A and B are shown apart, each in its own frame.
Chain A
């Protein structure tokens, strides 16, 4: 009778561990015995070599014998019935008393069928181990209700590690979760005080190779009681060996990869156990136990309890994950509410979003954000530079508009140009708020490596350079850090949901505003039309009687002036003069009422032409005032309404000539370049000046600083009209003056934007 080793002779190394056939190691861990039995006679056709220590006979002697021959007569029938049943696993563990050699020993028999083979694994039981069922039941019941009542995922995991550690007594129990790329992150830890914390560590996907993960789905619990074990090879009857290597996917004694053992040794672990956590048939995470103080055997019943904890946890994961960061979700909701309230309170909601407090950032757990609305960018927190943002917006706009909210934790992968700002924006959420008009709210997150939170002391994260220690969680962590260059922490579901919700809120607000605007516009149009006719009707109806008074008074003066007493003649003169003043007031008022509503015809205009036409018209007055007009250098062109600008210059220059009592009067028209405002035009004089108290008041309608008949009089509407004309050009006008020395009026023209249409109450103020 010959025996064959059906093992794999290769030594695996790190480079091929993804290919290592770990389900057919051809060996087991030697703390138990593996038997492969041929049904129905239960002939031992394969067996582990380590039988002598546990069963008192050499493997070769046992091969080919029936299991019955090892059992006491009292157990044969029941054991056969259990093993040959269809649901053999329900009977695990079989309490077997095997008499090997000189004594009888208690074993837990763990049976399963795989690929038509009947496997029986025997683990020796110490007498003291049998657990009192009721004690265990009460414990379990307490644990189950604690797990069930955990308020969120984190609490569930914390409860889970505590429970497993209590059941097993391992020095360290952690739970980690896989991300979509199979990297792991430690979510919960229960450990000896003296052990290094692993909380918050991340492991690269390569730490647990693919085929191991596949096995973990099939087989929910692995245990390595002693990492320094010497594997016991499997020997087989020749006809068995010919069938190829033994698939040990479901064996609890399966020998593990040397790489994994090295890893454990580097951690300082003497033994380890891990339990799979599944979600919808997919490996979600692991409960991983390690023991620093040497080897540790966990009896079958306890393992079963742990497996049960794992399954119980698995069944809660999805609902707890739904509650994950329950508090944060609640907080997000209230932030959402506050942001909405803030946005509806102000006119410029886009700017408001970027005001303090930084609730916009809290909403999604971002470190920076930008709101791009109607061509205006406002930012809060750490955001890319303006130019980079513009580029990003352009890129986003060029993407297919299918996505209302685009999110990534690796912007580099989609947009390589973001390399230059990955330190602030490795992760991005972009909520698009309108088609066509490319309005966005953007949230940014920096590279994850810069944002890690440590459960422990970061200084303990020695970078293990020694090649001997290349397999170590800390080293793994360093390795993982390399794999996440250019990535941010992933956006959580509820953070994305918050972004979507905000987007909906903004769209609602914008819609509401645009409806309001539409309504206002309609009303505005109507009241403008009404106002128009009112202004004309009023001026018309006022002028009619005025004309009558004027004409009759003029006639009386013309025909009977001599007959009138001098005082009455003066009075009649005054009546005529007053009618003329009243007419010019009515005209000014009518004109003023129109300035806000007239259509501007904006064109690129050479203001030098405009100025020379104005000076041409004003020539007689300039000569009369014997004033010098200075134009030091040509004016830069502007986008404006030529006719209205003539009015502006006429008004300002006329004022400069009028309010001047100097011997040598001059007026200077020029411009300067301002970094903020662009071209600033000015009209300067050496006239009487304006006291600071009046710098605002002069722009008020009908506000006069001087008596009616001083300085050639006026209706007090000129500057008001000028101010409104400038405002209609999106510009500003202001005055600087030294009383008694002269005045300068500055104004800007910024007509690149839409011209401002405004509704002001008829005859209202235009004071700022």
Chain B
């Protein structure tokens, strides 16, 4: 259903990304996976500018997995920026973080995140989480048909 939607992962931790990739494979998730390690880079990717100026190199993602603690511009600011941007705000963002600080959870939802996943220190649980993620977000959820133009309000 949503199998061809590009997924953007914003994650600065190589081990975590490594595990994510492996687990995606293990869960047979076919979607193209893109990765940015920093907040600034993620925004460049989304706006297709800088090194992502070529359209092909940075397709509009159908879903974003966002880590909060990033060097430089952090995940919270990336989220805020996206949700304040008419063209980007319809892209579902799942926060994928180690922090269980209630403030982080609160502000993520307040800023329009579609979900908040806690990275567990437990491989089995992690794998299960990814399987459920696939089933829910990639098999059942109806995604917006978004071509990136602002929806006209009338």
Query: Could you tell me which A residues sit within 8 Å of B by CB distance?
Result: 532, 536-537, 540-541, 543-548, 550-552, 554-555, 558, 579-580, 583
In contact, B101 and A579 (Cβ under 8 angstroms) = no
- Chain A residues with CB under 8 Å of B122's CB are 550, 580
Residue from B16, B19, B69, B120 within 8 A of A540 (CB atoms): B69
In contact, A536 and B99 (Cβ under 8 angstroms) = yes
In contact, A547 and B16 (Cβ under 8 angstroms) = yes
Given contacts A540-B69, A552-B15, contact A547 B101 (CB under 8 A): no
- Chain A residues with CB under 8 Å of B13's CB are 544, 548
In contact, B99 and A547 (Cβ under 8 angstroms) = no
Interface residues of B in 85-108 (CB under 8 A from A): 97-99, 101, 103-104
In contact, A547 and B121 (Cβ under 8 angstroms) = yes
Is B83 close to A, CB under 8 A? no
Q: How far is the CB of B25 from chain A (nearest CB, A)?
A: 13
Q: How far is the CB of A19 from chain B (nearest CB, A)?
A: 88
Ranked nearest first, the 6 interchain pairs of A and B with the lowest CB-CB distance are: A548-B15, A554-B123, A536-B101, A583-B121, A547-B121, A540-B98
Q: How far is the CB of A579 from chain B (nearest CB, A)?
A: 6
Q: How far is the CB of B104 from chain A (nearest CB, A)?
A: 8
In contact, A555 and B121 (Cβ under 8 angstroms) = no
Is B24 close to A, CB under 8 A? no
Q: How far is the CB of A574 from chain B (nearest CB, A)?
A: 16
Interface residues of B in 109-127 (CB under 8 A from A): 119-124, 126
In contact, B16 and A543 (Cβ under 8 angstroms) = no
- Chain B residues with CB under 8 Å of A551's CB are 15, 19, 123, 126
- Chain A residues with CB under 8 Å of B121's CB are 543, 546-547, 550, 579-580, 583
Bound form: Cα–Cα A579–B98 in Å: 15
Q: How far is the CB of B98 from chain A (nearest CB, A)?
A: 5
Residue from A544, A554, A579 within 8 A of B16 (CB atoms): A544
Bound form: Cα–Cα A547–B69 in Å: 15
Q: How far is the CB of A395 from chain B (nearest CB, A)?
A: 50
Q: How far is the CB of A559 from chain B (nearest CB, A)?
A: 11
22 contacting pairs across A/B (C-beta < 8 A):
A536-B104, A540-B69, A540-B99, A540-B101, A541-B69, A544-B16, A546-B121, A547-B16, A547-B119, A547-B121, A548-B13, A548-B15, A548-B16, A550-B122, A551-B15, A551-B19, A551-B123, A551-B126, A554-B124, A555-B22, A555-B123, A580-B121
Question: Using an 8 Å CB-CB cutoff, how does the interface string of B1-33 with A read, 1 for contact, 0 for none?
Answer: 000000000000101100100100000000000
Query: Could you tell me which B residues sit within 8 Å of A by CB distance?
Result: 13, 15-16, 19, 22, 69, 97-99, 101, 103-104, 119-124, 126
Residue from A543, A550, A554, A555 within 8 A of B98 (CB atoms): A543
Chain B residue nearest in CB terms to A536: B101
Bound form: Cα–Cα A438–B94 in Å: 56
Q: How far is the CB of B100 from chain A (nearest CB, A)?
A: 8
Bound form: Cα–Cα A548–B97 in Å: 14
- Chain B residues with CB under 8 Å of A537's CB are 69
Q: Which of A541, A548, A558 has the most CB of B within 10 A?
A: A548
- Chain A residues with CB under 8 Å of B19's CB are 551
Bound form: Cα–Cα A532–B100 in Å: 12
Q: How far is the CB of A296 from chain B (nearest CB, A)?
A: 99
- Chain B residues with CB under 8 Å of A550's CB are 121-123
- Chain A residues with CB under 8 Å of B124's CB are 554
Chain A residue nearest in CB terms to B67: A544
- Chain B residues with CB under 8 Å of A583's CB are 121
- Chain B residues with CB under 8 Å of A558's CB are 123
Q: How far is the CB of A300 from chain B (nearest CB, A)?
A: 100
- Chain B residues with CB under 8 Å of A554's CB are 123-124
Q: How far is the CB of A142 from chain B (nearest CB, A)?
A: 89
Q: How far is the CB of B106 from chain A (nearest CB, A)?
A: 13
Bound form: Cα–Cα A548–B15 in Å: 6
Q: How far is the CB of A241 from chain B (nearest CB, A)?
A: 109
Bound form: Cα–Cα A545–B22 in Å: 18
- Chain A residues with CB under 8 Å of B97's CB are 540
Chain B residue nearest in CB terms to A548: B15
Chain B residue nearest in CB terms to A558: B123
Bound form: Cα–Cα A546–B124 in Å: 15
Chain A residue nearest in CB terms to B14: A548
- Chain A residues with CB under 8 Å of B69's CB are 537, 540-541
Chain B residue nearest in CB terms to A553: B123
Chain A residue nearest in CB terms to B120: A547
Q: How far is the CB of B58 from chain A (nearest CB, A)?
A: 27
In contact, A544 and B126 (Cβ under 8 angstroms) = no
Q: How far is the CB of A204 from chain B (nearest CB, A)?
A: 78
- Chain B residues with CB under 8 Å of A545's CB are 15
Bound form: Cα–Cα A317–B38 in Å: 90
Bound form: Cα–Cα A545–B16 in Å: 9
Bound form: Cα–Cα A447–B138 in Å: 92
Bound form: Cα–Cα A536–B76 in Å: 15
Q: Which of B97, B98, B99, B121 has the most CB of A within 10 A?
A: B121
Chain B residue nearest in CB terms to A542: B98
- Chain B residues with CB under 8 Å of A532's CB are 101, 103
Q: How far is the CB of A572 from chain B (nearest CB, A)?
A: 13
Chain A residue nearest in CB terms to B22: A555
Chain A residue nearest in CB terms to B69: A540
Bound form: Cα–Cα A548–B123 in Å: 10
Chain A residue nearest in CB terms to B123: A554
- Chain B residues with CB under 8 Å of A552's CB are 15
- Chain B residues with CB under 8 Å of A544's CB are 13, 15-16, 98
Given contacts A552-B15, A554-B123, 13 further A-B contacts (CB under 8 A): A540-B98, A540-B99, A540-B101, A543-B121, A544-B13, A544-B16, A545-B15, A547-B16, A548-B15, A551-B126, A555-B22, A555-B123, A580-B121
- Chain A residues with CB under 8 Å of B126's CB are 551
Q: How far is the CB of A446 from chain B (nearest CB, A)?
A: 62
- Chain B residues with CB under 8 Å of A548's CB are 13, 15-16
Q: How far is the CB of A739 from chain B (nearest CB, A)?
A: 37
Bound form: Cα–Cα A544–B15 in Å: 9
- Chain A residues with CB under 8 Å of B104's CB are 536
- Chain B residues with CB under 8 Å of A536's CB are 99, 101, 104
Chain A residue nearest in CB terms to B126: A551
Q: Which of A536, A551, A558, A583 has the most CB of B within 10 A?
A: A551
Bound form: Cα–Cα A724–B97 in Å: 29
- Chain B residues with CB under 8 Å of A547's CB are 15-16, 98, 119-121
Chain B residue nearest in CB terms to A543: B98
Q: How far is the CB of A1 from chain B (nearest CB, A)?
A: 119
Bound form: Cα–Cα A532–B104 in Å: 12
Bound form: Cα–Cα A540–B99 in Å: 6
Q: Which of A537, A541, A544 has the most CB of B within 10 A?
A: A544
Bound form: Cα–Cα A554–B124 in Å: 9
Bound form: Cα–Cα A536–B121 in Å: 16
Q: Which of B13, B16, B120, B122 has the most CB of A within 10 A?
A: B122
Bound form: Cα–Cα A543–B120 in Å: 9
Chain A residue nearest in CB terms to B19: A551
Bound form: Cα–Cα A545–B12 in Å: 12
Bound form: Cα–Cα A552–B16 in Å: 10
Bound form: Cα–Cα A624–B16 in Å: 37
Bound form: Cα–Cα A552–B15 in Å: 9
Bound form: Cα–Cα A689–B15 in Å: 46
Bound form: Cα–Cα A532–B101 in Å: 9
Q: How far is the CB of B39 from chain A (nearest CB, A)?
A: 16
Q: How far is the CB of B12 from chain A (nearest CB, A)?
A: 10
Bound form: Cα–Cα A163–B15 in Å: 108
Bound form: Cα–Cα A540–B101 in Å: 9
Bound form: Cα–Cα A540–B124 in Å: 20
- Chain A residues with CB under 8 Å of B99's CB are 536, 540
Bound form: Cα–Cα A551–B121 in Å: 8
Q: How far is the CB of B144 from chain A (nearest CB, A)?
A: 32
- Chain B residues with CB under 8 Å of A543's CB are 98, 119, 121
Bound form: Cα–Cα A548–B20 in Å: 11
- Chain A residues with CB under 8 Å of B119's CB are 543, 547
Bound form: Cα–Cα A537–B97 in Å: 12
Bound form: Cα–Cα A495–B2 in Å: 90
Bound form: Cα–Cα A546–B122 in Å: 10
Bound form: Cα–Cα A550–B119 in Å: 12
